[in-house]
Structures are given as C-alpha cells and as structure tokens.
Amino acid sequence: MYRRRCEHGLQGANIDFISDSELDQAVSRIKRNHPAWGVVMVEGALNARNIIVPRRRIIEALTRTDPLFTVLRWRAPIERRRYRVPGTTIPASGL
C-alpha cells in the first residue's frame, strides 16, 4: 500500500495496524487519566503516542471500553442562546 500511495502522490500519515485489544488497552489508559475526553481528544492522545488509526476504530474502542461514554454521546445537544440586538434590521438586498 505504501508503494502505491507514493506512486500516486498520496503520502500521508501511516495507519497503524494494531489489534483491537491493543487499541482498547491504549484507549482505556487514556480514559483512566482523562475520563471526560471524547473521540477527538482521545484521537489526539493516540496520535501523540504514534498510534494512528481511523476514527471509526476509536469510536468502537471507546464503546467497548467505556459503555457509559456511548450513552452520554447520545444525549440531547446543548441548546444555544439566540441573540437579538435591538435596532438592527436585515438589509433589503438580503446581505
């Protein structure tokens, strides 16, 4: 694969081929130290340890090692505030 990627100019990060159990161990170590971290932060921590895997595998590992994480990810999104500034109008041109 590496040779083909080089031939087509697609050199990038090499994906590590580690087993699910090794990935689960790495993810559980990270979550033990940082329980509030989500997918992106765990992915960054793995990348810092030179473990580069697809995000799909990280989500699967988080689901296996921390089932509560899955429930919390499905909770309702944070409701954002709507700001209204008095005296402002929308221009007629629609800008």
The answer to whether position 6 is within a domain reads: no
pLDDT of residue 46: 95
Q: In this predicted model, which residue has the larger pLDDT, 10 or 89?
A: 89
55 in a domain, yes or no? Answer: yes
For the segment 27-72, what is each residue's pLDDT rounded down to a tens digit?
999 999 998 888 999 999 999 998 999 999 999 999 999 887 777 7
Domain that holds residue 36: 17-73
Structural domain contains residue 87: no
Number of domain units in the chain: 1
Residue 24 lies in a domain: yes
Q: Is residue 61 helix, strand or coil?
A: helix
Residue 41 lies in a domain: yes
- Contact by Cβ (8 Å): 62, 26: no
pLDDT over 80 (residue 18): yes
pLDDT band at 26 (very low <50, low <70, confident <90, very high): very high
Within a domain: 3: no
CA pair distance 50, 5, nearest whole angstrom: 20
Domain assignment present for 95: no
User: Residue 8 — very low, low, confident or very high, per pLDDT cuts 50/70/90?
Assistant: low
DSSP letters for 67-88: HHHHHHHTSPPPPPP----TT-
Question: Is residue 25 assigned to a domain?
Answer: yes
* pLDDT > 90 fraction of the chain, expressed in percent and rounded: 39
Q: What is the mean pLDDT of residues 70-84?
A: 75
